[in-house]
Chains A and B, each alone.
Chain A
Amino acid sequence: MAKKIALLQGNEACAHGALYAGCNFFGGYPITPSTEVAEVMSGELPKVGGKFIQMEDEIGAMASIIGASLAGSKALTATSGPGVSLKQELIGYACIAEVPCVIINVMRGGPSTGMPTGPGQSDVMQARWGTHGDHAAIALCPSSCQEIFSETVRAFNLAEKYRMPVQVLFDEIVGHMRERIVFPEPGELEVIDRTAPSVPPEQYKPFDTSFGDVPPLAAFGSDYRFHVTGLNKAEDGFPTTKAELVDAEERRQIRKVEGAEARADIELNEEYMTEDAEVVIFAYGSTARSARYAVNELREQGIKAGLFRPITLWPFPEKRVAELGEQVKAMVVAEMNLGQMVFEVERIVKNTCKLGLVTRVDGDPLTPTQIIDQVKEVL
């Protein structure tokens, strides 16, 4: 049978990706340029017996998806910069209480209301450090409509597998762009569900680490009942201030994402012509599309350029970026903000290669010409 093909907006592709992943709860609050995600979910979820709720604000939306997830749902919310700012306290809650959920951030400029209908990539650090306290973060950054579909599926998989909030960041350009989408058949993409407890209910501890760094999660309303809090907690889920328990829990929650094995599983990059590259452009999201064009152009002019595109932004692809830093003469970071990921790149490549930066925040995308000019300047 021929596969279903459609011309979809990035935001619509996102909603369909979520449904493919088994999302059955959406709690949201409208905001440009993300609203189409909510609109599609409001129409599709009841068809599959799922639930859609428009909450009173983004804080409520975030709360509702955590509550729904604890009751066993696969839960999604979608918003943009100002909404993510409001959600931050509860994103931290989902981190410490280890509740799987997916947050879509269709980025626009900022701060504050900024340019609601213009693209931006200025939330990449917010995705990492937006909530207070130490915590690990997983953030994915697709750059095409098809990839928005598949990365939304992967976001759910990672949220469920690692028991934590996962953010998907794309920008207004990809969110509102229409591209041809090939719907994967059921089973074609992997769909992961959280690990349920295997012990009998009376032995269940919601943060039991004897099964590894990601404890199995039961659901409210099942045969298991348990306590959840945003306070530092012991394995049984109840608050503790015991120094060694707090320390062990905090470190485990970082390790479950940043440990070598987890990183290998979570990190995903695309490389284009990097094998023999003397200069690598580091670009993500829609900017990577201009960067790829720039690479082709530079190659035609005899400059050995390549593209490194992190699809997983967080955890940061430290190892590969360090290797490339050793290989190339220069790296050029291109981003639609005034320089954010460049600090990560700088931290990793140190002085192994020259580092250039090209930025744009006026509401128009970075052009290949701007990137090419910067590459030539750095070389």
Chain B
Amino acid sequence: MAYDYEKSIRPGKLPHIWCPGCGHGIVMKGLIRAMDTCGLEKNNTAIVSGIGCASRMPGYLDFNTLHTAHGRAAAFATGVKMAKPEMTVICCGGDGDGAAIGGNHFIHACRRNIDMTYVLLNNYIYGMTGGQFSSSTPPGHLASTTPYGNPDPAFDLAKLAIGAGATFVARTTAFHATQIDKLIVEGIKHKGMAVIEILDDCPTTYGRRNKFRSVVDMMKRLKDIAVPVTAAAKMTPEQLEGKTLTGVLHKEDRPEYCENYAKIIARVQGA
């Protein structure tokens, strides 16, 4: 039987705003399946986003949803989670939102290891505003504000999350649809800051300028560049040139922020 997405979608809120061929819908379906697998209770779950095409996702989902300001999802979510640690908190949003304007909140949420799952949809571009380069646009690539090719180096977002202290970091692509929910499930179950970077496509603003003839071409690229971490171990640096590692990239146990704070409360009140 086909999977029933309807039960997680808010009645009357579709159709979504995304362009045909946009990868954001694939990620949303993965998120829905993952939340379902984890048995999340709608009233006890908050989904928080910033601004951008990717950040429109919460509006379609029948949970507590908070569509904030550009870049601020992690900081709003921190307030929600601190106030009600018993809630499951999920952030979702784009590369520009989470890592450029929101980079500071993002790294500090990682550092605190606060228990939330951040689904970072990296389509290498500012989609919503018409395709300006983001902090993850590859060098040399074309965007509406890099007419001569992008002069900026790009972030490796998963590495950034690991470096900043996130205790669960994974990556996959919009092509690897079934891996999306598997990784998000692991992220939700992980106690602490979980970051799942999903390499995604924006045919409308990024694909068009960078000579991808079709969405299929873009999906093929996502398929080609992805190398599972397990396979990468047996590959030479030459073979790994231009590839991106996928799967669980980092997992560790470290005290979670709200639990730490609860201990402080207990100690102060006990004294």
Question: Which residues of B from 81 to 100 have beta carbons under 8 Å from A?
Answer: 81-84, 86-87
Chain B interfacial residues counted at CB < 8 A: 39
Please classify the interface of chain B as helix (H, G, I), strand (E, B), loop, or mixed, using the class held by over half of its residues.
helix
Alpha-carbon distance A238/B61, docked complex (angstroms) = 12
A63/B261 in contact, CB under 8 A? no
B69/A90 in contact, CB under 8 A? yes
Q: For residue A67, which residues in chain B have a CB less than 8 angstroms away from its CB?
A: 48, 66, 75-81, 83
B21-29, B214-222, B263-271 - interface stretch: B263-271
Q: Does A216 contact B (CB under 8 A)?
A: no
B39-47, B140-148, B193-201, B247-255 - interface stretch: B39-47
Question: Which residues of A from 143 to 179 have beta carbons under 8 Å from B?
Answer: none
Interface centre among A59, A71, A75, by most B CB within 10 Å? Answer: A71
Alpha-carbon distance A224/B77, docked complex (angstroms) = 18
Interface centre among B43, B63, B66, B77, by most A CB within 10 Å? Answer: B66
A238/B84 in contact, CB under 8 A? no
B44/A75 in contact, CB under 8 A? no
Interface centre among A55, A56, A93, A226, by most B CB within 10 Å? Answer: A56
Closest approach, in angstroms, between the C-beta of B196 and any C-beta of chain A?
21
Alpha-carbon distance A64/B84, docked complex (angstroms) = 12
Partner of A227, one of B67, B77, B80: B67
A47/B82 in contact, CB under 8 A? no
B87/A221 in contact, CB under 8 A? yes
Q: For residue A70, which residues in chain B have a CB less than 8 angstroms away from its CB?
A: 66, 79-80
A64/B59 in contact, CB under 8 A? no
Q: Does A222 contact B (CB under 8 A)?
A: yes
- Known A229-B59, A239-B59: A46·B264 in contact at CB below 8 Å: yes
1/0 per position for A49-76, CB-CB distance to B under 8 A?
1010101110111011111111111010
- Known A60-B108, A238-B13: A68·B79 in contact at CB below 8 Å: yes
Mind listing 19 A-B residue pairs with CB under 8 Å? Answer: A27-B79, A47-B269, A51-B82, A55-B108, A56-B108, A59-B72, A61-B75, A63-B72, A64-B79, A67-B77, A67-B79, A67-B80, A67-B81, A68-B83, A71-B87, A73-B83, A227-B59, A227-B67, A229-B59
Report, nearest first, the 9 A-B pairs whose CB atoms are least far apart: A67-B79, A63-B75, A64-B79, A71-B83, A68-B79, A60-B75, A68-B83, A67-B76, A229-B67
